[in-house]
Structure 1
């Protein structure tokens, strides 16, 4: 049933991709006509001719059928801007993105191994298995484009050890792969730490130790058990990196699929966006399926769908990080700068360093950075909180329905927000509304899977069986038993993902697909500050610190919620 659900969801998403020209915010025929001849007058006859050529005059079913038939034969249409076949632009871009993602996955595995190696060794020795989840939370809260920008400045510009941009050989992939793989490795480290902790403290491990099994044998069994959990997430992470590599490709000027898709979305070149999103979707589905297969092979016959459903994911814990500090700092910055004007331009005060008049300095247009960061907190953090609340509602509606929607949730879980944003921006144009729609469209899947696991566990519990036997109605069971058991853990799960939502919104703003200048959104601030980061590092340091504080604060709070 789950495989069927995934297949139906994949076909449904593919159909939406095929219908993107009809969803575009402008007339496709007019766009093609102007791309072919800017001087030609768009008269009714010329527009009708283009519509017939594109198959837009036959309705959505004919358009979808024609696009699907051509796609199956390798023809993904013609660019509305350049007039060239889309397929010819994809080959080299796909090769670059696949190579970059493979190297980033290697970096992610190395980062994960470095973060969990010490707790693993300590656990085998019978010592505490407390991991470094606090440090992992900080790494996971760093945007890929920020890590990439810092690496570019230090190792490419200052030291000259590696190339700054482009793509000729593997040396050009080192810094982008590190930037893309480091946050993903931190996320995997949290998952691996929980899995190792469960395996090391399981009853079978104590029994094996008492029976005299060698440490090496126990270590292999623990790694196999924990690996079955990590591989399932690794497929999703790899799919996410392949789709969200656009930010890193833009920073380093890498001619990959993500950069091609971003440029096409900003130009509203729908056929190119269609092709890029379709490729990313198929790669994501394949990576998720391979991860699930590897998970089953590692754990063997013990792994069943029921066991997967009953295993609710843990929330990230935060070690010794103090709960109040991030919230106090961000609140203090907001209260300090909210009364300042974030839009006043003063060219005589360009790129001033922090001072009494401008505690965070000024940007390239002389605007007060404290004011822009403070107003950006209301924009980014408040918007992320609103999207999180919407995600919780969707997750509960989908999750309490049992297995229905599980296939769609599994597929959407592997779909990065950047991919959806590309499709939305190509049709409706970039803006904060497009960013919210894109992030909410994919962020509901993990909490929904969590809610589904908890709801199924409750429905199979003995006390609900007794309640039904006593004549309790379905409404009574739902509101008095199921929801009280499901809502608090789902809230914690969603709260853990709030920093990821904030980062997604900031990333879309950085790419130009979300909030637009002069709005003081943190991603926009980082995009505006990057050209001047070497001369005035504070224009990037303060917005980046705000993003990290939001991420760490949310993770800490989620770990303390009970």
Structure 2
């Protein structure tokens, strides 16, 4: 009951905050609405006064918010400030489109995750160092994958439609663009847990009895999936509300695109209804994930009958991270002496050559120089944001009753909408993308921490240590944190390229650094229209992003729980328990 009230309070606070967005941003809502309705109309004082009177803006934000909430109780979400149409039918139609796209994307993500961990399942949990292919796939930006699929598969090959939303065939390409990176991340997390499941006593006993390997593999999957279900629920909501770029590329009238357009136009009724739909979807997805986890594990969580999944893993590649890091540093070192802002119009879109190793962009600027200079700004800021998100995620994940409802609420907010809220409160500037991404980046890490913590508390060794009289600090310091921290850190490193891209993408939308700043996201976005004519203009920053993803994953392979040796549990003895002399 307390958790439900906490979730309802957070949802109400978020919806109320969105309702105050125009007044928090210190802009005139009437002017914004007038520009969205008719850009060529002169914003005279008389026209603005008529708009304010029509929308009731003179009464202030609180009466408008109360009117919207009162109508919502009756099933009326109000009318759009831009089109004048009823909000509820449009939002429900956009939600149905997004749910269909999300379902197909989840299917693609499941297939991708199965392909990532297929080798570990086939080898019975014996995992070899590697997985750079899945790391590169997880690091590719969704809008770049969508552009490549639309251009190659949709336009050149003509296998599938690349624009519009008219039937099931139109869902394939956008679902692949969304599902492939999400499946690669989930597959990496699952592959991290499988060796521990195959090393549990039941698996060794089943193998000794001669049970088929496929049956053992199915049970190992059942053992590991509950730890990933909370993150899978986050992906479900993210694929629904955060697919703005993909929906724009394929011209899909989904909920994410509808919410973003309403936020930019300050169409509050549509924005509030869309955010509320995302919040309800997030609550439903998290509830279904918790219920499914309990059904898969059964009473083991209650009885403390599990064994830890986090066992020593095989040594990771020692030379591969060094090679990848050297390649990244060499690119930066070669490009820093060059000028990233020099415009040479007679060398526009030149292919790679000795003078321009990465080619030139549409203004004739050297791409090697722009990529190298953008690496420093983007990568350093991404590292700082990832470290802050990791710290907040671990600390809040250790308090699941507090973080659970908060995660569901935060995850329902797309990063772009979070950036708009941050801009409204704190103002624009270079720090806006960092604050916005940090505000949402901790949620998956906190969910992962809470899920692992729940299972670790149900292990036999934890129950035995607690029965011997160990205190909470001892259990937290010696049992829980050493088991939970390494996989969560690996998860944070796996998300590092996505954080870098999110920062740069928000800057491109005008919520941070402005052109001609050579950030990676801006490089990808400004060169995307020339991908067919000059593919090197897009491949250069995309290759650096993929290289960063491979480096992050291979470096994360060295973050393992130490191989346990024989040790005794030190339990404080009280005077009453001390033996008589």
Q: After superposition, what is the alpha-carbon deviation per residue over 1:434-473, rounded to whole angstroms, capped at 9, x for unaligned?
A: 422221111123444566677997999969998979xxxx
1:409-558 matches, within 5 Å, as 409-413=407-411, 416-421=414-419, 423-424=421-422, 432-448=430-446, 493-509=491-507, 515-558=513-556
Alpha-carbon spacing, 1:337–1:78, altered in 2? closer, same or farther (3 Å): farther
Partner in structure 2 of residue 86 of structure 1: 87
CA distance in 1 between partners of 2:51 and 2:241 (Å):
36
Question: Which of 245-254 and 71-80 deviates more?
Answer: 71-80
Q: 2:49 — aligned with what?
A: 46
For residues 95-114 of structure 1, the aligned pairs below 5 Å read: 95-114=96-115
Q: What does the per-residue CA deviation read over 1:288-347, in whole Å, with 9 as the maximum and x for residues that have no partner? A: 221222221122222359899998899999768711223222222222222322223222
Give CA-to-partner distance per residue, 1:337-379, whole Å, 9 cap, x none: 2232222322222111122322211111112211211121122
Matched with 1:284 is 282
CA distance in 2, matches of 1:307, 1:150: 48
Q: Give the deviation of 1:210 after TM superposition.
A: 3.2
Q: Distance in 1 between matches of 2:306 and 2:45?
A: 57
Distance 1:264-1:461 versus aligned 2 partners, 3 A rule? farther
Q: 1:33–1:119: structure 2 CA closer, same or farther, 3 Å change rule?
A: closer
The question of whether the paired residues in 2 share the 8 Å contact of 1:406 and 1:449 is answered with yes
Shift of 1:492: 5.3
With over 3 angstroms needed to count, the CA separation of the structure-2 counterparts of 1:7 and 1:203, relative to structure 1, is farther
| Residues 314 and 272 (structure 1), Cα distance of their counterparts in 2 relative to 1, 3 Å cut | farther
Whether the aligned pair in 2 keeps the contact of 1:312 and 1:450 (CA below 8 Å) is: no
Relative to the length of structure 1, the TM-score reads 0.84
**Unpaired segments of 5 or more residues in structure 1?**
none
Farther-moved stretch of structure 1 (482-491 vs 274-283): 482-491
In structure 1, distance between residues paired with 2:441 and 2:303: 23
Shift, 1:102, TM fit:
0.9
Structure 1 residues 116 and 96: alpha-carbon distance in aligned structure 2, compared to 1, 3 A threshold: same
Q: Shift of the alpha carbon at 1:80?
A: 4.1
Rounded to whole Å, the distance in 2 between the matches of 1:406 and 1:306 is 22
Secondary structure of 1:164's aligned partner: coil
Separation of aligned partners in 2, 1:351 and 1:441: 38
Q: Tell me if structure 2 keeps the 8 A contact 1:354–1:362.
A: yes
CA apart distance, 1:244 = 1.9
**Matched residue, 2:17:** 16
TM-superposed CA distance for 1:539, in Å, is: 0.6
**What is the CA–CA distance in structure 1 between the aligned matches of 2:303 and 2:12, rounded to whole Å?**
23
Q: Distance in 2 between matches of 1:311 and 1:196?
A: 8
The verdict on how the C-alpha distance between 1:343 and 1:268 changes in structure 2, with shifts beyond 3 A counting, is farther
Residues 361 and 527, structure 2, Cα contact 8 Å, conserved in 1: yes
User: Match for 1:158 among 147, 156, 159?
Assistant: 156
| 8 Å Cα contact 1:35/1:82 also seen in 2 | no
Cross-structure match for 1:384: 382
Whole-Å separation in 1 of the counterparts to 2:426 and 2:311:
36
Shift of 1:543: 0.6
**Equivalent residues, number:** 552
After superposition, the Cα gap between the structure-2 partners of 1:512 and 1:194, relative to the gap in structure 1 and judged at 3 Å, is same
Moved more, 375-384 or 414-423: 414-423
- Residues 375 and 519 of structure 2 are in contact (CA less than 8 Å); yes or no, is this contact kept in structure 1? yes
- Deviation, 1:219, is 4.2
Contact 1:425 1:513 in 2 (8 A): yes
Tell me the TM-score normalised to structure 2 length: 0.81
